[in-house]
Amino acid sequence: MKKIVIIGAGFGGLNAAKILCKNKKLNITIIDKKNHHLFQPLLYQVATAGLNESDIAYPIRSIFRNKKNVTVYKETVIDFDFNTKTVITDSNKHSYDYLIIACGAVENYFGKDKWAKYAPTLKNLNHAQQLRNKILNAFEMAEKTKDDNEKRKYLTFVVIGGGPTGVELAGAIGEMTRFTLAKDFRNIDPRLSRIILIEAADKILATFDDKLINKAVRNLESLGVQVWTKSMVTDIDEKGVTIGNERLESATIIWAAGIKANPLSEKLPGNKDKMGRIIVNKDLSIENYPDVFVVGDLAHFEQNGKILPGIAPVAMQQGKFVAKLILAELKGKKRTQFKYFDKGQMATIGRSKAIAEIKNLKLSGFIAWITWILVHIMYLTGFKNRIFVMLQWAWSYLTLKKGARLIIDD
Amino acid sequence: MKKIVIIGAGFGGLNAAKILCKNKKLNITIIDKKNHHLFQPLLYQVATAGLNESDIAYPIRSIFRNKKNVTVYKETVIDFDFNTKTVITDSNKHSYDYLIIACGAVENYFGKDKWAKYAPTLKNLNHAQQLRNKILNAFEMAEKTKDDNEKRKYLTFVVIGGGPTGVELAGAIGEMTRFTLAKDFRNIDPRLSRIILIEAADKILATFDDKLINKAVRNLESLGVQVWTKSMVTDIDEKGVTIGNERLESATIIWAAGIKANPLSEKLPGNKDKMGRIIVNKDLSIENYPDVFVVGDLAHFEQNGKILPGIAPVAMQQGKFVAKLILAELKGKKRTQFKYFDKGQMATIGRSKAIAEIKNLKLSGFIAWITWILVHIMYLTGFKNRIFVMLQWAWSYLTLKKGARLIIDD
């Protein structure tokens, strides 16, 4: 039996495994640090109390419970031996005939790692919980302090990075302050919170059409979010953010400004770009290692002169491509080249507010928002998760409440 | 305006506040370390992945969002000044005309506090998350180790304490191993897990009728739980539990053996029992402090020669009693004496398995289980929580799956 090892059960690894496991002659091993597949596009909703952790995450081994040729290990990969075709983890060694590396990206503070302490990022459920604690605690602190400067600091939320994650997070915080929390406090008015979205470039959501960007900015403003473009963060400390000569005091600073390759990239051969991503061959294999593939955020793949972005659809298509390529090769067929099919892009700003670009079709407002909802429900893993996410959303839509406003700390 | 300070938004404090807030001439301050009221009777279901945190917890300030005379502070009480009628917290001072202390109980290791590290308890959402991580991680570790002794250690779960919490927890773990996880692993069979419920006394669920206890024991056994009575734990370390001359190696040890008064009791006047509870007057006030009341697990109250147990119905009735007493006293009426009305007791062991004792009526099996469900849904806070808990239960009942099987750690 051929052995296939997949590292990472994100969109890339999971989609590869789902196709490969149908061939019962293959022995598939999935290795992931976490026990769950995470639907990352909705992670900001867990951080802002709109959804539960279990709504957007699903145990990996449950997905494959009826596929006896799939074994899942919750382990951390620490090294490789490409000569003996072995993956070395913190607890085991796994040999492979084919290896699919899909361990994604991590946050990038561009050399300012000390900022991480003050401006946490949002990549996993643990981050989401901590961020939720931090956001909700800021209001609790503002409610009880008698010092006006302190109050203002606690009611100032700074989101750094104007990509889809930053925009969605800022919009969700805005919505929370305007609606969910509006009546809950006695000494503060959450509607007077300041939410500032900081972007170094001259526009947010840079990959979108300018008209849609303008709509998104206006939508953000209607939720109390100020958009500061051409603003380069020069320092972050425990009390706030410095942007050149300007200074913002804030108790809640969130980093959504950039990603880089998973540090495991250092253990991999082949050419890398400056973000540490592996510059892969046209069939997504690593140069000189035809049995080792890289898919998703860790892969640097150029198409029509552009590097494919680190988004879920790219990872999904690459995972599926590699799985099919391996199945075909085992039947003696020749390898083909990967080609990304761009279905479009979308971002949501708040209740009934979103933008979507599908080929030449440009949508905004309610219709874009409904499209966004349908697409996200469709791609969620698990029937129960779909139902429960829809119910949570329906409930929030009708009541303006958010269900998971819990501070869970020691 | 009269000022009423309530410490703790558990069943006692919350029910007092709900009645007092209806009098708009009263100024009510609720102080709690947490931002949420917790429905503790279902906490074991969060720990065993059956429910989400937000299903059984509700933000305190949301409950009172439309009651402008209620102010909620997320603060920790550190001391009192009974001469100036002031409560001192980590961040503020709150003066009162009436004080209701409802801060409950904490785990009791009976002087063996070093056991806490190896045998954590289950009192709040943070505990529940850590316990869920621990239980689920044990299976992950068993799946990947190649050492049979290690495997057995990871597949042994020890619950110490045969009261309702211990029984419900042991039953839920049993159910998880028999049904939920049965097909998910390749190197282990979760159905061969050993779950051991240890009780020092000669029977579990000591307050129930012997026939019902026997049914509960048989139900536990059908889920793979061994019940060890007359077994006194003599030591706990990182590798297992010692019971006299016997030794159990286990990676998951849970402490459900006892509680004692919240340490805040040390700052309170009046007579205390050996568990640190305040021996209250017949009107639940502290001796010589008629404006200070103690309700719930922190109160020692005797009725018909027996101390009332630390359970939700007692706390609820006491909270309501004190609230009504204050309202009546403000109208010039004389104080009455508290009397607990015992509605019965129940415990659930697993799917379709429960026991219930309501006056002379003794129920078991499916009918007791349905009764248990209805009572718990009825007392849950929040319309949405009721709906979502019912949906989660319906889904688990039909599919035998559990929704929140996530390990969320660093």
Establish if A60 belongs to a structural domain.
no
State whether B271 and B311 are in the same domain.
Answer: yes
10 Å CB burial of residue A101 (0-12, 13-18, 19+) is buried
Cross-chain residue pair B406–A35, CB shorter than 8 Å: yes
Is residue A154 predicted with pLDDT exceeding 80? yes
Is position A62 within any domain? no
Size of interface A-B (CB pairs under 8 A): 122
CB-based contact B73 A391, cutoff 8 Å: no
Residue type, B118: Y
The neighbour count for residue A197, using CB atoms within 10 Å, is: 28
Higher per-residue confidence, A383 vs B45: B45
Which of chain B's residues have a Cβ under 8 Å away from the Cβ of A52?
52-55, 404
Q: How confident is the model at residue A383 (pLDDT cuts 50, 70, 90)?
A: confident
Task: Kindly list the residues from chain A whose CB atom is less than 8 angstroms away from the CB atom of residue B69.
Answer: none
- Residue A279 shares a structural domain with residue A204: no
Contact list in B for residue A53 (CB cut-off 8 A) is 52, 404, 406, 408
**Cβ atoms of B212 and B347 closer than 8 Å:** no
How sure is the predictor about B409, in pLDDT bands with cuts at 50, 70 and 90?
confident
| pLDDT at A258 > cutoff 80 | yes
Question: What average pLDDT does range A230-249 have in this prediction?
Answer: 97
CATH number at residue A297: 3.50.50.60
Rounded (5°) CA angle A205-A207-A213: 45
Domain end: B257, B288, B303, which one?
Answer: B257
| Shared-domain flag, residues A210 and A307 | no
Task: Say whether both A203 and A325 belong to one domain.
Answer: no
Report the 10 Å Cβ neighbour count for A331: 8
Kindly identify which residue of chain B lies nearest to residue A387, measuring between CA atoms: B391
8 Å CB contact of B52 and A54: yes
- As a whole number of angstroms, the distance between CA A36 and CA A52 comes to 14
| pLDDT on residue B404 | 83
Long-range interactions of A78-83: CB distance < 8 A, separation 24+: A78/A267, A79/A267, A80/A267, A80/A268, A82/A269, A82/A289, A82/A292
Do A140 and A14 fall within a single domain?
Answer: no
Contact in structure between B403 and A54 (CB atoms under 8 Å): yes
> Closest chain A residue to B29 measured between Cα atoms?
A186
* Angle, CA of B394, B11 and B379, to the nearest 5°: 30
The pLDDT, as a whole number, for residue B178 is 92
Beta-carbon separation of A406 and B126 below 8 A: no
CB B164 within 8 A of CB B172: no
Q: Two tokens at B67?
A: 């009651």
In the predicted model, is pLDDT for residue A180 greater than 80? yes
Average pLDDT for A73-89 = 98
Section B193-212 average pLDDT:
96
Structure tokens belonging to residue B380: 């849950």
The helix (H) or strand (E) run that includes residue B132 is helix B125-144
Complex-level ipTM: 0.93
Q: How many other C-beta atoms can be found within 10 angstroms of the C-beta atom of residue A360?
A: 7
Residues A251 and A155 both lie in one domain: yes
> Given a cut of 90, is residue A373 above it in pLDDT?
yes
Q: Which of B255, B260, B197, B208 is nearest to B231 (CA)?
A: B197
Residue B377 belongs to what H/E stretch? helix B365-379
- Does A409 contact B185 at a Cβ distance shorter than 8 Å? no
Distance in angstroms (rounded) separating the CA atoms of residues A47 and B380: 25
Lookup: tokens for A81: 């031996």
- Using pLDDT thresholds of 50, 70 and 90, give the confidence band for residue B369: very high
Q: What is the dihedral of CA A119, A124, A127, A128, to 10 degrees?
A: 110
Q: Which distant-in-sequence residues (6+ apart) come within 8 Å of B334 by Cβ?
A: none
B409 → chain A, closest CA residue: A126
Strands B361-364 and B353-358, how do they pair?
antiparallel
Binned at pLDDT 50, 70 and 90, residue B381 comes out as: confident
pLDDT value for A409 = 81
Q: Tens digits of per-residue pLDDT, A322-355?
A: 999 999 999 999 999 999 999 999 999 998 999 9
Banded pLDDT at A399 (limits 50, 70, 90): confident
For A53, which of B74, B401, B406 is closest by C-beta distance? B406
Query: Nearest by CB to B66, which of A34, A183, A405?
Result: A183
Q: Do A405 and B62 touch (CB under 8 A)?
A: yes
The closest of B376, B342, B340 to B359, measured between CA atoms, is: B342
Instruction: Tell which of B257, B276, B306 closes a domain.
Output: B257
Q: What is the mean pLDDT of residues B178-186?
A: 93
For chain B, what percent of residues have pLDDT higher than 70? 100
Annotation marks residue B53 as catalytic: no
Confidence band, pLDDT 50/70/90 cuts, at residue B397: confident
- Are B222 and B273 in the same domain? no
Same-domain status, B147 and B271: no
Cβ–Cβ gap A52/B53 under 8 Å: yes
Q: Pick from B220, B183, B179: which is nearest to B203 by CA?
A: B220
Q: Note whether A384 contacts B406, CB cutoff 8 Å.
A: no
Helices and strands (H, E) in chain B, number of each type: 11, 27
Q: What is the 3-class SS of B281-304, one letter each residue?
A: CCCCEECCEEEEEECHHHEECEEC
Q: In chain A, what residues touch B399 (CB-CB under 8 Å)? A: 384
Q: How far is B138 from chain A (nearest CA, A)?
A: 11
Contact A404 B53 (CB under 8 A): yes
Section A149-177 average pLDDT: 96
Residues B134 and B246 in one domain: yes
Supply the mean pLDDT for chain A. Answer: 96
Residues of A in contact with B409 (CB under 8 A): 126
Distance from the A314 Cα atom to the nearest Cα atom in chain B, whole angstroms: 26
pTM of the model: 0.95
What would the mean pLDDT of B319-345 be, rounded to a whole number?
A: 97
Question: Is residue A400 over pLDDT 90?
Answer: no
Q: Is the pLDDT of residue A403 over 80?
A: no
Nearest CA in chain A to B124: A408
Q: Is the pLDDT of residue B204 over 80?
A: yes
d(CA B345, CA A140): 37
The beta-carbon neighbor of A410 closest among B126, B186, B404 is B126
In a domain, A338, yes or no: no
Q: Which of B168, B175, B199, B357 is catalytic?
A: B168
Look at B34 and A403 and tell me if their CB atoms are within 8 Å.
no
How far is A126 from chain B, CA to nearest CA, in Å? 6
Q: With respect to residue B342, please indicate whether it lies within any of the assigned structural domains.
A: no
Q: How far is B84 from chain A (nearest CA, A)?
A: 21
- What tens digit of pLDDT does each residue of B111-169 get? 999 999 999 999 999 999 999 999 999 999 999 999 999 999 999 999 999 999 999 99
Among A330, A353, A374, where does a domain finish?
A330
Q: CA-CA distance, B37 to B42, in Å (whole number)?
A: 12
The answer to whether A144 contacts B54, with C-beta atoms less than 8 Å apart, is no
Residue A324 CA, chain-centre distance (Å), reads 25
Q: What is the pLDDT of residue B31?
A: 98
Suggest the residue from B27, B134, B186 to mutate for an interface test with chain A (most A CBs closer than 10 A).
B186
| Nearest-CB residue to A384 (from B66, B384, B403) | B403
- Select from B144, B388, B390, B401 the residue whose CB has the most chain A CBs within 10 Å, as the one to mutate to test that interface: B144
| Structural domains of chain B, count | 2
Instruction: Give the number of other CB atoms < 10 A from CB of residue A23.
Output: 16
Taking 80 as the threshold, does the pLDDT of residue B403 lie above it?
A: no
Mean pLDDT score, A193-217: 97
Residue B380 located in a structural domain: no
* Cβ(A172)–Cβ(A269) below 8 Å: no
**Chain B partners of A409 at a C-beta cutoff of 8 Å?**
126
Query: Which residues on chain A are in Cβ contact (under 8 Å) with B122?
Result: none
Smallest CA–CA distance, residue B89 to chain A, in Å, is 11
In a domain, B247, yes or no: yes
Give contacts of B407 with chain A, Cβ < 8 Å.
Answer: 34-36, 74
Domain assignment present for residue A267? The answer is: yes
Residue pLDDT, tens place only, B217-270:
999 999 999 999 999 999 999 999 999 999 999 999 999 998 999 999 999 999
pLDDT at B259: 92
Closest of A314, A359, A362 to residue A216, by C-alpha = A362
Structural domain span for residue A353: 113-257+344-399
Predicted pLDDT of residue A151:
96
How close A73 gets to chain B, by Cα (Å)?
7
Instruction: Please state, as a whole number, how many other Cβ atoms lie within 10 Å of the Cβ of residue A33.
Output: 17
Instruction: Please say if the pLDDT value at position B410 is more than 80.
Output: no
Chain B residue numbers with beta carbons less than 8 Å from the beta carbon of A384 are 395, 399, 401, 403
Distances (CA, A) of B86 to A145, B182, B257, B285, B291: 18, 56, 35, 17, 12
For A42, A228, A376, A391, the CA distances from A350, given in Å and listed in that order, are: 13, 19, 15, 17
Cα A285 to the center of its chain, rounded Å? 24
> What is each CA distance from A187 to A148, A348, B74, in whole angstroms?
11, 31, 13
Is residue B19 packed enough to be buried (19+ CB in 10 Å), middle (13-18) or exposed (0-12)? middle
Which residues of A participate in catalysis according to the annotation?
Answer: 168
The residue of chain A with its CA nearest to that of B32 is A140
Min distance A94 CA to chain B CA atoms (Å): 11
Which residue spans within A267-367 are E strands per DSSP? 278-279, 285-286, 289-294, 299-300, 302-303, 306-307, 345-350, 353-358, 361-364
Which amino acid does the sequence have at A120? P
The strand pair at A361-364 and B105-107 is best described as: unpaired
Contacts of B81 (CB under 8 A, 6+ apart): B88
pLDDT tens digits along A43-75: 999 999 999 999 999 999 999 999 999 999 999
Distance separating alpha carbons of residues A49 and B52, to the nearest angstrom: 13
Q: What is the mean pLDDT of chain B?
A: 96
Closest C-alpha among A249, A195, A241, A256 to residue A222: A195
Could A183 and B126 be called an inter-chain contact, meaning their C-beta atoms sit closer than 8 Å? no
Whichever domain contains A213, its CATH number is 3.50.50.100
Strand A105-107 vs strand A259-261: parallel, antiparallel, or unpaired?
Answer: antiparallel
pLDDT at A307: 96
Cα–Cα separations (whole angstroms), residue A352 to A185, A358, A393, A403:
26, 18, 11, 18
Residues A173 and A289 reside in one and the same domain: no
* Strand pairing report for B306-307 and B302-303: antiparallel
What 3-state DSSP class applies to B310? coil
Q: Tell if the CB–CB gap between B73 and A35 is shorter than 8 Å.
A: no
* Whether residue A165 is found in the same domain as residue A239: yes
Q: Chain B residues with CB inside 8 Å of A186's CB? A: 68, 71
> What's phi and psi for A118, nearest 5 deg?
-95, -25
For residues B264 and B190, membership in a common domain is answered with: no
Contact B223, B178 (CB under 8 A): yes
Inside any domain, residue B373:
no
CB contact under 8 A, A91 and B384: no
The CA distance from B33 to B55, in Å, is 20
Residue B212 is predicted with a pLDDT of: 97
Tell me whether residues A126 and B68 touch, CB distance under 8 A.
no
Q: Sign of dihedral through CA atoms B88, B89, B95, B101?
A: negative
Mean pLDDT of B361-372: 95
